[in-house]
Amino acid sequence: MNILNHNDINILDLPDEMLLTIFNKLNTIDMLYSLVDVNQQFDRLALDSRVIDHLNFVIKRDDIHSSSVEIDILSRICSKILPRINEKIIKLILESHSMERIINAIDYPRLHSLSLVNYQPKILLRHLSDNTKKLLKLKHFSLATDFYTSCYDTEVVPLLRRMLNLEELTLFLSVVRSKSTYIDGNQLYDKVLNYMSQLNKFIFNIHTRIMNDFIINNNIKIDLPSNDDIRNSFIKRGFKSIDTCADDKLINNRGNCHVYSLPYQFNEFLFMNSCFQGGKFDKVRLLTMFDIRPFEHELFKIISQDFPFLQQLHICNNHRQINEHHHSSTLITFNYLFKLHLYAVHKDYVIQFLSDKNTRLPCLTNLIIEYKTLVAVTNNFTNDATRLNCSKIKYLVTYEPFVRSQNFVAYFPSL
């Protein structure tokens, strides 16, 4: 066994309560795989109800994205360990790649809280396919994914309707629709919440993306609700602490709407567009932005103030800014931003963020960008205005090969 310090204290000499504290700090995978079947003491403690009633099978990388569990480790946990503790498990957190094995491994007679992270619609449908059986024991349910789904009405809604005794519901969804309108308070209540008489807590961020590009019958007219209409649809159903950000008309047959509960509880905000008006988003660490309209300097100023702890920013927009002369009026600072994704954007956004006359990025270490755009904006790595924000970059991704010139090496001294 490993020695804890120079006084030769063996981990087996520690009292049970201290060992339980240590075990609780380990992730579920490490704890079950590494400690079970080591010895009787570890078995007794690792399989204690205080440790395994709440199992989180999501491995997090970069504090943002989930990763699937290695097959051999997961196989041993499902076949050798879960059958020994099935009656102790009260809460499960699963990601899409491990959900199939874990759900099918055993029955969970005491399970009342289930969270699905980054699920894929086809997997969800396949393993929760009995859309008639009521899930009466489930008290808490969370469904969160970074993937778009076009199966909200056919898969997600029927699943939620089965949870008649649900007390807490969390939804983080991006829904694609055609020949339809945004998901608002009326739709949520009539299709889902009306079936949950015990519900007392509803946390959500639902992004609806209308895509009518491929509709053959162009005579179909969709009337989009205004922000006030959407907000009022929640208020009249008793949800007063909400906000919305929505396009009130289709642009190129597309429209976007975000509705979310307040205070905002998620660490991601995905697919923001230029109609964003602001708010308080202290918990958000990852923001993605997409639009076919320009993102102006004033919008980034709002974001820097309203997302004070933002760490990762992904921008997708190839439309040039209109109000370029406003850049010098206000210097923007993102104090914690370390990763910036500017691949396939108009060069205005590269200037917006890399020029220290526009933006200060004291923690920027990761940059994803097209090489030709980087060369143009930095004037072949001689532009002093963009030198400071590039000086601490340790990881540069361009997706295209290039030869490092002397100017390049001097421009990125931390690479």
158: preceding bond cis by omega (within 30 degrees): no
Identify the band that residue 214 occupies on the pLDDT scale cut at 50, 70 and 90.
Answer: low
Residue 226 in this model has a pLDDT that exceeds 60: yes
What is residue 325's predicted lDDT score, i.e. its pLDDT?
56
Per-residue model confidence as pLDDT tens digits over 353-385: 999 999 999 999 999 999 999 999 999 999 999
Residue 161 in this model has a pLDDT that exceeds 80: yes
More confident residue, 331 or 108: 331
What is residue 283's predicted lDDT score, i.e. its pLDDT?
97
What is residue 4's predicted lDDT score, i.e. its pLDDT?
44
Contact between 323 and 352 under an 8 Å Cβ cutoff? The reply is no
Which range of 15-19, 114-118, 395-399 scores highest in mean pLDDT? It is: 395-399
> From CA 116, how far away is CA 149, in angstroms rounded?
14
> From CA 159, how far away is CA 154, in angstroms rounded?
9
What is residue 17's predicted lDDT score, i.e. its pLDDT?
77
> From CA 123, how far away is CA 135, in angstroms rounded?
18
Contact between 363 and 337 under an 8 Å Cβ cutoff? The reply is yes
What is residue 112's predicted lDDT score, i.e. its pLDDT?
86
What is residue 219's predicted lDDT score, i.e. its pLDDT?
60
Count other Cβ atoms within 10 Å, centred on residue 47: 17
Residue 5 in this model has a pLDDT that exceeds 70: no
Residue 96 in this model has a pLDDT that exceeds 60: yes
What is residue 13's predicted lDDT score, i.e. its pLDDT?
67
Can you give the length of the chain in residues? 415
Per-residue model confidence as pLDDT tens digits over 140-157: 999 998 888 888 998 889
Contact between 336 and 312 under an 8 Å Cβ cutoff? The reply is no
Identify the band that residue 245 occupies on the pLDDT scale cut at 50, 70 and 90.
Answer: very high
Phi, psi of 399 (to 5 degrees): 60, 15
The phi-psi region of residue 96 (left if phi > 0; otherwise alpha if psi is between -120 and 50; otherwise beta) is alpha
Per-residue model confidence as pLDDT tens digits over 42-91: 778 777 777 777 888 876 644 334 444 467 788 888 888 888 888 888 88
CA 30 to chain centroid, in Å, comes to 23
Residue 241 in this model has a pLDDT that exceeds 70: yes
Residue 326 in this model has a pLDDT that exceeds 60: no
Identify the band that residue 8 occupies on the pLDDT scale cut at 50, 70 and 90.
Answer: low
Distance separating the N- and C-terminal Cα atoms of the chain = 40
Identify the band that residue 128 occupies on the pLDDT scale cut at 50, 70 and 90.
Answer: low
What is residue 388's predicted lDDT score, i.e. its pLDDT?
96
